[in-house]
């Protein structure tokens, strides 16, 4: 490494001592610059100052018709999620959010999310539906998650809320007018936009929403308190196995799961999640993951927003660009 300036740039030089050797064409030097302004990154890519650039989904139209730029959408295992607080700590008479403990309410919240329009409007169509905690393309995904349990259906959401006893009051409000607190990272454009649309649809159901667009550090601090209702988040692969999603998402904290501090606690899901992780027999794993899928649909702690595709944007003069959804960037093969 020649230079590291945190939040500014990193300069990497090719090392003659690299253990893997250097056969073929390779860059001698790679400069990685950090810039938080999306339009500046777009301008650098279009002018040729940048060879590769991260482009926000909302800026895709700015580059997709440029003949000097390759727009290359590729599959990832990035899941977009909304965590729901199953076991809230707020149950005082003045600030009673106990409605979040009701599985019927959380099912209604899952039906209230507009999956298709969120993908179309805020992810340029590059977000695909998911069936459950196992992402598309992962082993056992289709066998153990045969359908998408929740689609956008405000009528179904209203019926579930009514069935749970949370009918509209005289002012057209649910939960006695108590506002639901939803957090999102202000720096994440797509999630913040999606949260705004979600708020609109929840309002249509008579649910008041206090949308908190805050820093990522605040979201991180809040999520561990269980003093929240929902927050927008995501999960990306650590290793290529369904366990890396099922256990953090659907297993309880006490059993070694629940990375998101939702308070999920479904004994049957715990047993099945860990049983699946302890066998290599495909049929047994499918059977257990199916149990998890069924249990988490009946008592959800997540809104499974979708699975994003990574859209690579790079100059046409760059050769042998390859994207690996497990290791992300691999600069070894790049050349001009």
| CATH number for position 37 | 3.40.190.10
Q: What is the pLDDT of residue 271?
A: 98
145 and 8 inside one domain: no
Q: Which percentage of the chain shows pLDDT scores above 90?
A: 72
Decide if pLDDT at 92 tops 70: no
Q: What is the pLDDT of residue 284?
A: 98
172 and 260 inside one domain: yes
104 and 48 inside one domain: no
Give residue 328's pLDDT band: very low, low, confident or very high (50, 70, 90): low
Q: What is the pLDDT of residue 322?
A: 82
Pick from 52-61, 210-219, 230-239, 304-313: least confident: 52-61
159 and 31 inside one domain: no
43 and 180 inside one domain: no
Exposure string (b/e) for 70-81, b if CB count within 10 Å is 16 or more? beeeeebbbbbb
Decide if pLDDT at 75 tops 90: no
113 and 60 inside one domain: no
How many of the other CB atoms lie within 10 Å of CB of 123? 23
Q: Which percentage of the chain shows pLDDT scores above 70?
A: 98
Residues 102, 298: contact at Cβ < 8 Å? no
45 and 102 inside one domain: no
199 and 326 inside one domain: no
215 and 301 inside one domain: yes
Average pLDDT over the chain, rounded to an integer: 92
180 and 317 inside one domain: no
Mean pLDDT over 52-70 rounds to 89
**pLDDT digits over 208-253, tens only?**
999 999 999 999 999 888 889 999 999 998 888 999 999 999 999 9
d(CA 36, CA 56): 11
Q: What is the pLDDT of residue 152?
A: 98
Spatial neighbors of 161 by CB under 8 A, at least 6 apart, are 104, 105, 108, 167, 174, 205
Q: How many domains is the chain partitioned into structurally? A: 2
Give residue 64's pLDDT band: very low, low, confident or very high (50, 70, 90): confident
Range of the domain at 327: 3-72+311-333
Residues 274, 251: contact at Cβ < 8 Å? yes
Residues 159, 190: contact at Cβ < 8 Å? no
């Amino acid at each position: 490494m020649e230079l590291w300036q945190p939040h500014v740039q990193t300069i990497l030089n090719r090392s003659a001592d690299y253990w893997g050797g250097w056969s073929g064409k390779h860059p001698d030097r790679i400069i990685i610059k950090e810039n938080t302004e999306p339009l500046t990154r777009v301008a650098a890519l279009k002018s040729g100052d940048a060879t590769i650039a991260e482009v926000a989904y909302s800026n895709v139209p700015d580059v997709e018709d440029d003949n000097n730029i390759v727009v290359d959408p590729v599959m990832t295992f990035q899941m977009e999620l909304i965590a729901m607080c199953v076991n809230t700590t707020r149950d005082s008479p003045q600030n009673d959010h106990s409605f979040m403990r009701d599985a019927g309410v959380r099912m209604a919240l899952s039906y209230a999310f507009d999956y298709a329009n969120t993908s179309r409007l805020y992810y340029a169509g590059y977000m695909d539906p998911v069936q459950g905690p196992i992402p598309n393309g992962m082993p056992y995904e289709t066998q153990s998650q045969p359908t998408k349990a929740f689609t956008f259906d405000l009528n179904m959401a209203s019926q579930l809320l009514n069935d749970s006893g949370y009918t509209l009051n005289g002012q057209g409000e649910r939960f006695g007018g108590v506002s639901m607190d939803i957090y999102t990272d202000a720096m994440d454009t797509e999630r913040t936009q999606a949260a705004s649309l979600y708020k609109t649809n929840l309002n249509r159901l008579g649910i008041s929403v206090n949308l908190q667009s805050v820093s990522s550090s605040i979201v991180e601090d809040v999520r561990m308190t269980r003093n929240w209702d929902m927050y927008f988040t995501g999960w990306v692969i650590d290793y290529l196995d369904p366990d890396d999603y099922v256990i953090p998402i659907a297993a309880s904290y006490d059993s070694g799961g629940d990375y998101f501090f939702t308070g999920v606690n479904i004994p049957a899901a715990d047993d099945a999640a860990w049983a699946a992780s302890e066998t290599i027999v495909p049929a047994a794993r499918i059977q257990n993951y199916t149990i998890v899928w069924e249990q988490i649909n009946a008592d959800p702690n997540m809104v499974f927003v979708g699975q994003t595709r990574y859209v690579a944007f790079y100059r046409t003069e760059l050769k042998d660009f390859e994207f690996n959804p497990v290791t992300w960037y691999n600069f070894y093969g790049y050349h001009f």
